[in-house]
């Protein structure tokens, strides 16, 4: 099955899919190793890890697609890529969608923010007018229909400045235009989350940022509301950053660090050393036999 076909099969399972988000090939491998069925390449976390800068439109299209390619090469589970605003006009959106499909992504997210975009849970974000927002999704769907084997995740940030009603109307139109998954960013209450799922057709994604604007509900509650995907874009990066800062503090204070660390044997296995050596031995055996 292609990545897109795998994602469609997951969505057809008609339940909540919990989706920890990755930022590089290693974090994606850990997600897959722990049995999660899909992941999302978080733009926030990827910008932080790749260029050490905030998610404010500083990464280029080429950098983002390169990171997506590395992630997709590392895992067999479906990966959703963050296509931001599409990196330009409608023609750029088409190129972005095709590029993410070639990189191996199962889906790509296209949003209606003004460029340069901002993290959905930080100040200063604004959206383009309806016509431009709809053109972006129309172009993305056209790219898919013209041969890009990829799903379209359509995101609106209109809730921030224009209210939930405008966000719902935009998302409904995205569905009419052919988007496969809908994402209304940053509803502020459980009631708003329920309104999103009650009002909109098709598959919906919740985005849960610990400490962000959307309530951090349990998986059972999110499933009951009607979400198909629950994305956690910053959990792994925040955990990794805290662990690294704690280890650096231990270095500074000359305290023992062993209890903070993954066992070296497990670390080697998770990265892939054991699998590499096992495979390489099959070739060594064939040379000995000859």
Look up the CATH number of the domain holding residue 200: 3.20.20.60
The CA-atom distances, in angstroms, between 204 and each of 86, 102, 145, 199, 274 are 21, 25, 21, 11, 39
Q: What is the tally of structural domains in the chain?
A: 2
Residue with the larger pLDDT of the pair 56 and 245: 245
Structural domain span for residue 272: 259-290
Average pLDDT of the residues in 151-155: 98
pLDDT tops 90 at residue 284: no
- On whether both 127 and 31 belong to a single domain, the answer is yes
pLDDT tops 60 at residue 290: no
The CB-side HSE value for 59 (13 A sphere, CA atoms) comes to 28
User: Is there a domain that residue 248 lies in?
Assistant: no
Of 65-69, 76-80, 117-121, the poorest mean pLDDT is in 117-121
pLDDT tops 80 at residue 287: no
d(CA 253, CA 46): 30
- On whether both 223 and 274 belong to a single domain, the answer is no
**Would you state the pLDDT for residue 216?**
97
Is the bond leading into 116 cis (omega within 30 degrees of zero)?
A: yes
- On whether both 176 and 85 belong to a single domain, the answer is yes
pLDDT tops 70 at residue 4: yes
The CA-atom distances, in angstroms, between 11 and each of 87, 110, 187, 198, 245 are 28, 19, 22, 18, 38
Which tokens belong to 92? 């750029």
Q: Which helix (H) or strand (E) holds 222?
A: helix 219-225
d(CA 247, CA 98): 41
- On whether both 52 and 137 belong to a single domain, the answer is yes
**Would you state the pLDDT for residue 125?**
77
- On whether both 236 and 266 belong to a single domain, the answer is no
Whether the Cβ atoms of residue 136 and residue 144 lie closer than 8 Å to each other: no
Average pLDDT of the residues in 250-257: 96
- Phi, psi (rounded to 5 degrees) for 222: -65, -40
User: Is there a domain that residue 93 lies in?
Assistant: yes
Interacting residues of 41 by C-beta distance below 8 A, sequence separation 6+:
21, 22, 23, 28, 67, 68, 71, 79, 80, 81, 82, 105
- On whether both 84 and 145 belong to a single domain, the answer is yes
- On whether both 207 and 270 belong to a single domain, the answer is no
Phi-psi region of 238 (alpha: psi -120 to 50; beta: other; left: phi over 0): alpha
User: Is there a domain that residue 206 lies in?
Assistant: yes
- On whether both 216 and 275 belong to a single domain, the answer is no
User: Is there a domain that residue 9 lies in?
Assistant: yes
- On whether both 200 and 286 belong to a single domain, the answer is no
d(CA 136, CA 174): 10
- On whether both 102 and 211 belong to a single domain, the answer is yes
- On whether both 218 and 290 belong to a single domain, the answer is no
Which tokens belong to 101? 């499909």
Q: Which helix (H) or strand (E) holds 225?
A: helix 219-225
pLDDT digits (tens, 9 = 90+) for 85-137: 999 999 999 999 999 999 999 999 999 999 877 665 556 679 999 999 999 99
The CB-side HSE value for 278 (13 A sphere, CA atoms) comes to 6
User: Is there a domain that residue 20 lies in?
Assistant: yes
d(CA 289, CA 56): 57
pLDDT digits (tens, 9 = 90+) for 192-245: 999 999 999 999 999 999 999 999 999 999 999 999 999 999 999 999 999 999
Beta strands in 159-286 (DSSP E): 181-184, 203-207, 229-232
pTM of the model: 0.94
Interacting residues of 253 by C-beta distance below 8 A, sequence separation 6+:
none
d(CA 147, CA 143): 7
- On whether both 191 and 263 belong to a single domain, the answer is no
User: Is there a domain that residue 192 lies in?
Assistant: yes
User: Is there a domain that residue 87 lies in?
Assistant: yes
**Would you state the pLDDT for residue 286?**
61
User: Is there a domain that residue 145 lies in?
Assistant: yes
């Amino acid at each position: 099955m292609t990545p897109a076909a795998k994602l469609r099969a997951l969505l057809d399972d008609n339940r909540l899919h919990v989706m920890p988000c990755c930022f590089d090939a290693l974090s994606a491998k850990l997600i897959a190793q722990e049995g999660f069925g899909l992941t999302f390449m978080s733009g926030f976390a990827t910008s932080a890890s790749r260029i050490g800068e905030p998610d404010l439109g500083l990464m280029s299209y080429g950098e983002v697609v390169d990171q997506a390619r590395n992630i997709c090469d590392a895992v067999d589970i479906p990966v959703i890529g963050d296509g931001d605003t599409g990196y330009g006009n409608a023609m750029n959106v088409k190129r972005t969608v095709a590029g993410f499909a070639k990189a191996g992504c199962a889906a790509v997210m296209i949003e209606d923010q003004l460029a340069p975009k901002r993290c959905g849970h930080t100040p200063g974000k604004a959206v383009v007018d309806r016509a431009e927002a709809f053109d972006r999704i129309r172009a993305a769907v056209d790219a898919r229909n013209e041969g890009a084997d990829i799903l379209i995740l359509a995101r609106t940030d209109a809730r921030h400045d224009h209210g939930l009603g405008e966000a719902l109307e935009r998302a409904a139109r995205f569905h009419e235009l052919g988007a496969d998954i809908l994402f209304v960013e940053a509803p502020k209450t459980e009631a708003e989350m329920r309104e999103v799922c009650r009002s909109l057709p098709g598959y919906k994604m919740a985005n849960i940022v610990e400490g962000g604007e959307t309530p951090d509900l349990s998986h059972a509650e999110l499933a009951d509301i009607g979400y198909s995907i629950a994305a956690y874009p910053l959990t792994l990066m925040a955990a990794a950053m805290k662990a690294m800062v704690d280890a650096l503090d231990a270095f500074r204070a000359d305290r023992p660090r062993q209890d903070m660390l993954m066992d070296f044997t497990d670390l080697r296995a998770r990265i892939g050393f054991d699998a590499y050596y096992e495979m390489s031995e099959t070739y060594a055996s064939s040379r000995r036999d000859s």
